[in-house]
Structure 1
Amino acid sequence: MLGEQQLAVDLVLHAVEQARQADSKQVIIVTGGPGSGKSVVALSLVGELARRGRAVLHATGSRSFTQTLRKVAGHRAPRVQKMFKYFNQFMSAERNSLDVLILDEAHRIRETSVDRYTRAELRTDRPQVDELIAAARVPVFLLDEHQIVRPGEMGSLEQIEEYAKSLGLTSRHVHLGEQFRCGGSEEYVLWTKRLLGLAEGGPVPWPGDPQFEVQVADSPEELERLLAGQMERGYSARMTAGYCWSWSNARDDGSLVNDVTINNWSRPWNSKSDRRVGDAPPAPLWATEDGGFNQVGCVYTAQGFEYDWNGVIFGPDLVWRDGRFTVKREANRDPDLKNTKKISDIRVDLLIRNIYKVLLTRGMVGTILYSTDAETKQALHSLIKTK
């Protein structure tokens, strides 16, 4: 563990002992960009606190992330698997029943835990953040505000701090400033945020970085071929895209429909199933199991994961016009973004930019970009000079 990562761990461990001795409660918030080590901090805390005999659980709002953690960390240990929960599993938790609740990917916290499966007696307007704070003496929120990608997600630093303050609780904030994913290239993450209009200064040409490679493909066939070449060299690779194509259910025989169609090239989205479908891995394990390269992943299956080489397809919902990226809401097919009465154009604009920011920052060695829009592809070529 390095720098602020160790600081965050030490802060939580100290807060836990302080809360136990003083019978008090404290909220800790850890922020950082993709690959800054939030999940390293989270899993280190789970292991250390469990060894110390403290009551600790880990929770996320991501089915893919939670199931992967259960499989990897809980391999051959059902007791460990039970330590990994979802945010909506604390609706009826006893107050302060845990010493620590580690809330990884906390930018995915929702307004309430209620969904269509919630039992009638649990259906209330209680905020999900209230349930999570109440469940532990030291709730620890780990988040990246630029990864809020769905309507109803509200896990920002300001929101959590304000809610803790409204409860009369103190909160501590640690920012993980280092960038360990993307080959350690802080330059690439900042460049991506400026490219998408998520940071001041506007788009600039990619300056290059010996630790990270960025390329532009002229067709989906070229994108796939370049990534396949990296896999032949022993690297891992995946293709992702904006949600701009329909997403069909599997056929009766279990085969996947080639929904992502660009000219003569087509591939299926990742499987919706929790079980392997032919060569396609289960949906939660698309990013980590063999066979995932043959499907296109969306933000909901890619978020929280990393692979060596990252291929990103810009769909028609984000195009380059007049020197910057412009969101075309009508081109997006995500059902969560369709309700124009409940979700404003301004909100959708930010969510779509955040979605592409997540997709663009999954790679550890390099990223290859392709756009279905000719003007956008030309702009990407002008910004990224491939050696």
Structure 2
Amino acid sequence: MASAYQTTPARILELADAGRLVDEVGAHLVAAGFSVQEPERESWRRSLPALARHLCALGFGHLDALVEYQLPRSSHRVDVILAGAEPITLRPAYLVLELKQWSAAERYDDEGCLLRGSWTSKPLLHPSVQVEAYCSYLVDHLERLREWPEAVHGMAYLHNATAGSIPDRPSPRTFRNMLYTPDRADRFPSYLADRFAKHRDGRAAHRLLTSPVRQSPRLLALASDEVGNRGHFILLDEQRAAYELVMRAVRWADEGRRKRVVVVSGGPGTGKSAIALDLFADLLGQGRQVNHATGSKAFTRTLQLYARKQPLTPARRSDRLFKYFMHFSDSRRNGLDVLICDEAHRIREYTTLGRRSGSTHASAGGSSPRPQVEELIDAAKVPVFLLDDHQIVRSDEVGSVAAIMETAERLGLEVDLVTLGAQFRCGGSPRYERWVRCLLGLDDAGPYRWTGDESFRLGLAGSPEEMESILRSCNDRGETARISAGFCWPWTLQSQGGRLALDVRIDGWARPWNAFEEYPPPGIPSSSYWATDPGGFRQIGCVYTAQGFEYHWSGVILGPDLVVRGGRFITRPAESRDPKLVSKDGRVKARNADKLIRNAYKVLLTRGLYGTLLYSVDPETQEFLSRLIPAPRRRGRVVAPGVERTGAERNRREAVGSEAPRASTSDAPSMGGTGIRRHGLSDSRPQN
């Protein structure tokens, strides 16, 4: 079940009058794993009673109101969803509401998707665009809404503004991007009367909150349709703002205006690659000269593979559209319209010449005289960088927000910076994301016990054999699973006798690393496709083959390079076998090895969409983790991390049917929960 504070407009007014509303909503969010800031509390204090008072005055005080509804598999939240029944048909009806206290705003760009407010220097997404995306996301992800998409309407509710003080919504106008201001109030009563019966019908809210969530497709599976068939990711809030800033920079470049650099920063799963691929597909559709570049061999080659599968023209299907950062040292200045640099934290200080695959201009050796980030900025009229400062995992990687902005400013260029907050991986769980940061010492707080999250599963395996068995059951039923490990075992680079060497050895258990060579033995994917090829489950991945990818279930083996001593994780770089960190004679050569090891494990621990399973080879560390993480539970047979099967879960899977192979409909991990708090409703006692 979804997470929401369930109440009614009448109850909102009662709580507001009693001075309890803000504390009640805040307590719900804290219990769901969110941190609550004062601006949010002030918004509830001002906007929720204004909406509730209006609805009560019109006779709709008993509708179900889902406050701070968390979107499925995302940490984004909708301000309010009104749920009820249509007056005549009694079919479920929903109104998604984005509440704003704004009194005035002006256009930030010509299209009107971005606005400018006097209270901030950052561009603001038009609230009508924002709520329209929420509606589309809900219909796309919830099975019961996909059956009846017309049930979902959306409205930006600006109770302090006027029609003249806020630019109108961008065209086309639909029932999903309506805009309310008090001077347009004459239309609101008739709309509500046509939309909702005045009596409460709890079936609509129940249907929404208990809807099965569509099985989450992985990023690159969507990218295949995106590049080939002009499909789209649904970009929300800051994601859409970043997209619009790039498109504005492209239009300004056409007009000969000053060149701009766009920087998009965000943690794992915040949608950086979704933005990149949406931009890439749309710019290609406009006939623009655009390249997608990364510093990751695995990510670039996988994108090339997916693009080749699509029915594009040979020119658009060519691998030349997907390049590496090192391919731009001799590019013509501003030769591209747009260069999209994904995973830009992997930018190197300088491009090493003579090692550039496919380059006809490579010299015999040496380095480019200019910093690599400067080469990338010079290569396009609009350079775009998408990165996470905390995913730098090699000593020669220098990509950071500060480095890019400093270079742009030195070149006399203006920068648009967008910071992504919400995340979509790890079940959209802010609780898990915070737990990982604290576990690894990347936050001020220390490690603490995992208390659970209905949207994400976390478990501790007692052995690598148990981890493999649990994840194999997930993988066999069509939900992708992978095991990765810290780079703490030697790596035999060439196969032997048609087999990969069993390099990763833990007691009596042994498995190979993912293949290193380009042409591995039959049935084994090359390293570039370990995360996406079905055959990848049988090998152990490392940070270099996992970074940039996602899979439904993730197993992570902590090696002896990261252990607990005295209640805290410490790094032991000398235990690493990563040639980027340690020389052949065992000397630690990376100056920032501690940070790189912690960042590497942060990457590995944030690959899973549904859940993560951990195991440490160090007994003291394993004992420490056992006090923080529940062991995986079983009922009859091995299941996913921390999950027991229930009759309700079997019914849910049978109702969905098409999510997974039907050979075992009772075996999929539970994605539901009890994240609803009901207040003042006839069928539930209030909880304080």
TMscore range, shorter length:
over 0.9
Tell me how far 1:116 sits from its aligned partner: 5.1
Tell me how far 1:122 sits from its aligned partner: 7.3
Residue in structure 2 matched with residue 111 of structure 1 by the alignment: 349
Q: 2:617 aligns with which of 340, 353, 372?
A: 372
> What secondary structure sits across from 2:553 in the alignment?
strand
Residue in structure 2 matched with residue 327 of structure 1 by the alignment: 571
Residue in structure 2 matched with residue 361 of structure 1 by the alignment: 606
Tell me how far 1:189 sits from its aligned partner: 1.2
Residue in structure 1 matched with residue 321 of structure 2 by the alignment: 83
Q: 2:263 aligns with which of 29, 36, 40?
A: 29
Paired residues in the alignment total: 385
Tell me how far 1:201 sits from its aligned partner: 1.2
Tell me how far 1:279 sits from its aligned partner: 2.1
TM-score under structure 2 length normalisation: 0.55
Residue in structure 2 matched with residue 285 of structure 1 by the alignment: 529
Percent of aligned positions that are identical: 51
> Match of 1:371, as an amino acid?
S
> What secondary structure sits across from 1:337 in the alignment?
coil
Residue deviations 1:303-350 (CA, integer Å, cap 9, x gap)? 100001100000000001111110011100001101557532xx0000
> Match of 1:26, as an amino acid?
R
Tell me how far 1:202 sits from its aligned partner: 1.6
Tell me how far 1:115 sits from its aligned partner: 4.9
Q: In 2 relative to 1, CA 252–382 (structure 1 residues): closer, same or farther, beyond 3 Å?
A: closer
Q: 2:330 aligns with which of 82, 92, 95?
A: 92
Rounded Cα–Cα distance in structure 2 between residues aligned with 1:116 and 1:222: 46
TM-score under structure 1 length normalisation: 0.96
Rounded Cα–Cα distance in structure 1 between residues aligned with 2:333 and 2:487: 39
> What secondary structure sits across from 1:261 in the alignment?
strand
> Match of 2:500, as an amino acid?
L
Rounded Cα–Cα distance in structure 2 between residues aligned with 1:3 and 1:240: 32
8 A contact 1:243–1:334 mirrored in 2: yes
Rounded Cα–Cα distance in structure 1 between residues aligned with 2:594 and 2:366: 34
Rounded Cα–Cα distance in structure 1 between residues aligned with 2:441 and 2:496: 43
Tell me how far 1:52 sits from its aligned partner: 1.6
Rounded Cα–Cα distance in structure 1 between residues aligned with 2:366 and 2:468: 47
Residue in structure 1 matched with residue 250 of structure 2 by the alignment: 16
8 A contact 2:261–2:384 mirrored in 1: yes
Q: 2:287 aligns with which of 45, 50, 53?
A: 53
Residue deviations 1:40-78 (CA, integer Å, cap 9, x gap)? 100100111111222111000011000110111332444
8 A contact 1:24–1:137 mirrored in 2: no
> Match of 1:85, as an amino acid?
K
8 A contact 1:315–1:373 mirrored in 2: yes
Give the number of the structure with larger relative contact order, counting CA–CA contacts within 8 Å between residues 6 or more apart: 1
118-127 vs 135-144, which moves further: 118-127
Rounded Cα–Cα distance in structure 2 between residues aligned with 1:375 and 1:227: 24
Tell me how far 1:247 sits from its aligned partner: 0.2
Residue in structure 2 matched with residue 208 of structure 1 by the alignment: 452
> Match of 2:544, as an amino acid?
Y
* Structure 2, unpaired ranges of 5+: 1-234, 356-361, 632-641, 643-688
Residue in structure 1 matched with residue 628 of structure 2 by the alignment: 383
Give the alignment of 1:1-387 within 5 angstroms.
1-76=235-310, 77=312, 78-79=314-315, 80=317, 81-115=319-353, 117=355, 118-120=362-364, 123-339=367-583, 343-344=590-591, 347-386=592-631
Rounded Cα–Cα distance in structure 2 between residues aligned with 1:31 and 1:19: 23
8 A contact 2:441–2:569 mirrored in 1: yes
> Match of 1:48, as an amino acid?
D
Rounded Cα–Cα distance in structure 2 between residues aligned with 1:285 and 1:275: 12
Residue in structure 1 matched with residue 47 of structure 2 by the alignment: none
Q: In 2 relative to 1, CA 99–300 (structure 1 residues): closer, same or farther, beyond 3 Å?
A: same
Tell me how far 1:178 sits from its aligned partner: 1.1
Rounded Cα–Cα distance in structure 2 between residues aligned with 1:122 and 1:260: 36
Which structure has the greater CA radius of gyration? Answer: 2
> What secondary structure sits across from 1:82 in the alignment?
helix
Residue deviations 1:94-134 (CA, integer Å, cap 9, x gap)? 00001110000000000111155241487433110010000
> What secondary structure sits across from 2:368 in the alignment?
coil
Q: In 2 relative to 1, CA 192–341 (structure 1 residues): closer, same or farther, beyond 3 Å?
A: closer
> What secondary structure sits across from 2:350 in the alignment?
coil
Rounded Cα–Cα distance in structure 2 between residues aligned with 1:122 and 1:338: 23
Residue deviations 1:69-92 (CA, integer Å, cap 9, x gap)? 011133244433321111000010
> Match of 2:381, as an amino acid?
R
8 A contact 1:370–1:377 mirrored in 2: yes
Tell me how far 1:257 sits from its aligned partner: 0.1
Tell me how far 1:300 sits from its aligned partner: 0.4
Residue deviations 1:155-175 (CA, integer Å, cap 9, x gap)? 111111111111111111111
Residue deviations 1:12-52 (CA, integer Å, cap 9, x gap)? 00011112213421111001111111111001001111112
> Match of 2:590, as an amino acid?
I
Rounded Cα–Cα distance in structure 1 between residues aligned with 2:520 and 2:239: 36
8 A contact 1:91–1:122 mirrored in 2: no
331-340 vs 254-263, which moves further: 331-340
Rounded Cα–Cα distance in structure 2 between residues aligned with 1:244 and 1:121: 31
> Match of 1:351, as an amino acid?
L
RMSD over equivalenced CA pairs, Å:
1.5
Rounded Cα–Cα distance in structure 2 between residues aligned with 1:231 and 1:161: 42
> Match of 1:94, as an amino acid?
R
8 A contact 1:275–1:283 mirrored in 2: no
